[in-house]
Amino acid sequence: MSRSRFAVLALVLAGLLAPSAARAAAEVHRLNLALSAVPTSINAEDFNQGLDWYSRTLLTPAPRGFEPLEKVRFTILFDAELRYFITRNLSLNAGVGHLRAKSAKEYLPALVTAINIRADLITVPVHLGASYYLQPYNQGDFQARVFWGGGMVQYTHSRTEFLQALSGTDSTTTAQLGGSFKRSATQDGTGYYAEGGVHMFFASRYSIMLSGMYRSGVLTDFIDEQTRQVVLNPVTGKPFTLDVSGVGLRMSAGIGF
């Protein structure tokens, strides 16, 4: 009788422990949504040349002597991406992001006088690519997989804006600066990206990705939204080019479905 009770108890314990062991394994879902923040450099050579030209010709010369506008060199790309594993080692990736960088200054030369300057560049990159995953490293309920990949990017809804707002300035300053105005230009373009990193899975539907990323994107022949003419670089006299290329560190939180 004691042996029978012991056998039944052993079977019950085995049944209770079996699901726990299954749950302890890392979950790798076929479809994952990755929400990312990518601190990244940004080239923006023509954009920065325009800021430098504006500062040298209008802001810093006497009698104003204002501080120059800061150049755009760094920003954060926010991105949402779907990753679908078509095989154990290969995933197809598609996503959309938002990249914005700006340089802004407020000058207060007199008690009731304000000069506000803001320059923005905005683009919405849509990408399609693939990633190849190497063999996993497993440790208990944790799994890590090194991957590398890349693909194509379409930079949509891309635009540059320059705003100058004057308040309480005298007629001479207003005439010299050209008054209050807002100018914007738009154009789209294509590029590519490449990345490599590690994808970490846990005993849940959530995962984490860390990777280094290079983006290439040069948008040419921007059109002024008011005049519908090609915008020129004020320094070189050539058609304005917006270079949104850069190198960044991608930090992603994934949700498996």
Predicted local distance difference test score (pLDDT) of residue 16: 41
DSSP 176: H
Predicted local distance difference test score (pLDDT) of residue 3: 52
Predicted local distance difference test score (pLDDT) of residue 26: 87
pTM, whole model, 2 decimals? 0.85
- Domain boundaries along the sequence of the chain: 26-256
49 sits in which H/E element: helix 45-54
Distance CA 183, CA 178 (A): 12
Distance CA 223, CA 221 (A): 6
Largest separation between any pair of C-alpha atoms in the chain = 107
Predicted local distance difference test score (pLDDT) of residue 89: 96
- AA identity, residue 33: L
- Evaluate whether 98 touches 146 at the Cβ level (below 8 Å): no
Architecture of 26-256 per CATH?
Beta Barrel (2.40)
Cα–Cα separations (whole angstroms), residue 30 to 15, 88, 91, 93, 211: 28, 9, 9, 12, 20
The bridge status of strand 90-110 relative to strand 31-41 is: unpaired
Q: Please state whether the peptide bond connecting residue 68 to the residue before it is cis, i.e. omega within 30 degrees of 0.
A: no
Distance CA 210, CA 144 (A): 11
- The token duo for 54 is 């504006």
> End-to-end distance of the chain based on CA atoms, in angstroms?
48
Predicted local distance difference test score (pLDDT) of residue 24: 61
Predicted local distance difference test score (pLDDT) of residue 166: 96
- CA dihedral (49, 52, 57, 59) positive or negative: positive
* 221-224 own/partner pairs: CB under 8 Å, 24+ apart: 221/187, 222/160, 222/185, 222/186, 222/187, 223/185, 223/186, 223/187, 224/183, 224/184, 224/185
Predicted local distance difference test score (pLDDT) of residue 25: 78
- Evaluate whether 243 touches 215 at the Cβ level (below 8 Å): no
Predicted local distance difference test score (pLDDT) of residue 177: 92
Q: Hey, is 53 helix, strand or coil?
A: helix
Q: What is the pLDDT along the chain (257 residues), one digit of tens a residue?
A: 445 544 544 444 444 444 444 456 789 999 999 999 999 999 999 999 999 999 999 999 888 889 999 999 999 999 999 999 999 999 999 999 999 999 999 999 888 999 999 999 999 999 999 999 999 999 989 999 999 999 999 999 999 999 999 999 999 989 999 999 999 999 999 999 999 999 999 999 999 999 999 999 999 999 999 999 999 999 999 999 999 999 999 999 999 99
Closest CA to 99 of 118, 120, 122, 117: 122
**Number of other residues whose CB lies within 10 A of the CB of residue 196:** 15
